[in-house]
Amino acid sequence: MAIRNKLYFASDFHLGTGTYQKSREREDRLVRWLDSIRHDAAEVFLMGDVFDFWFEYKTVVPKGYIRFLGKLAELADAGVKLYFFKGNHDMWMFDYFETELGATIISNELEIERNGKKFYLHHGDGLGPGDNFYKILKKIFRSKLCQWLFARIHPNLGVGIANYWSRNSRIANEKKDDHKPGEQEWLVVYCGEVLQTHVYDYMIFGHRHMPLDIQLSPQTRYINLGEWVSNNTYASFDGETVTLHYFEK
């Protein structure tokens, strides 16, 4: 029997974006990836923007993604621990995945220690300099009042509005996004601020859609997980080191 001793990290699948066919192809690829890690995965960290939009009504969730969710259920039933991070596209996760998959829902950062290594984990949205308009929107969208008001809208209308907003906000961000090099990158700047008072071996994020592995200090590495619309990147921890991988490239 294989020993489950690895940690896996992935982010920004954006299931639902693009055409139905493209999203299904991405979903099938994710299912193949989950199949490839199921023999040795102890914990799987899905670090935000798993869905291009997600909202849990009391008795309704967005349809689709059944193959992906079924594979996650298979892993959970086999004893793999699952973590879902709230991203900027799927921040309206409540208790559905906790109930169905026994997953842990992470709203902001998560600090863990495994095999003597300290990890700082976060989707990455709203951190570092810039993006001030989104930081305001994030506070509004995460408010109980906003969530309560949206839940009053019929799902047919509510999901339609949200998908339109998600699609256009993503396009706008792609047009204005400035991928800064090295030490100027937003999340690298943020990590530098955190490291003034804390020590971590690995600081892992998604959100920025750039697969990166940067040595911040003799002890600390910054890992950005990239995305699955074009790069299909993820990271693994084997008990000694974190490695960034490309799937089916």
DSSP state of 135: H
Scanning the chain, the segments in alpha helix (DSSP H) are: 20-37, 66-77, 96-101, 132-141, 144-151, 155-176, 186-194
pLDDT the model gives residue 59: 83
DSSP state of 48: S
Q: How far apart are CA 147 and CA 135, in angstroms?
A: 17
Encoded tokens for 68: 């992906």
20-71 pLDDT, tens per residue?
Answer: 899 999 999 999 999 999 999 999 999 999 998 888 888 888 888 999 999 9
pLDDT the model gives residue 84: 97
- Give the mean model confidence (pLDDT) for residues 232-239: 97
CB-CB contact of 89 with 53 (8 Å): yes
Length of the chain: 249
Q: Name the one residue in this structure whose structure tokens are 């408010």.
A: 143
Whether pTM > 0.75 for this model: the answer is yes
Neighbouring CB atoms inside 10 A of 26's CB total: 21
pLDDT the model gives residue 45: 98
pLDDT at 222 over 60: yes
* DSSP letters spanning 204-235: EE-SS--EEEEE-SSS-EEEEE--TTTT-EEE
Per-state percent for the chain, helix, strand, coil, to nearest 5: 35, 25, 40
Q: What amino acid occupies position 163?
A: N
What pLDDT band is residue 172 in, cutting at 50, 70 and 90? Answer: very low
Q: Name residues whose C-beta falls within 8 Å of residue 1's C-beta, 6 or more positions apart in sequence.
A: none
Taking CA atoms, 140 is separated from 14, 112, 163, 193, 204, in Å, by: 22, 29, 18, 25, 26
CB-CB contact of 158 with 150 (8 Å): yes
Q: Among 54-58, 83-87, 201-205, 219-223, name the one with the lowest average pLDDT.
A: 54-58
CB-CB contact of 87 with 126 (8 Å): no
184-197 pLDDT, tens per residue?
Answer: 788 999 999 999 99
92-107 pLDDT, tens per residue?
Answer: 788 999 999 999 999 9
- Give the mean model confidence (pLDDT) for residues 206-235: 94
Q: Is the dihedral of CA 204, 206, 210, 211 positive or negative?
A: positive
Which of the two residues, 56 and 8, has the higher pLDDT score? Answer: 8
H/E element holding 6?
strand 6-10
117-159 pLDDT, tens per residue?
Answer: 999 999 998 787 766 666 666 777 777 777 777 777 777 777 7
Beta pairing partners, 111: 120
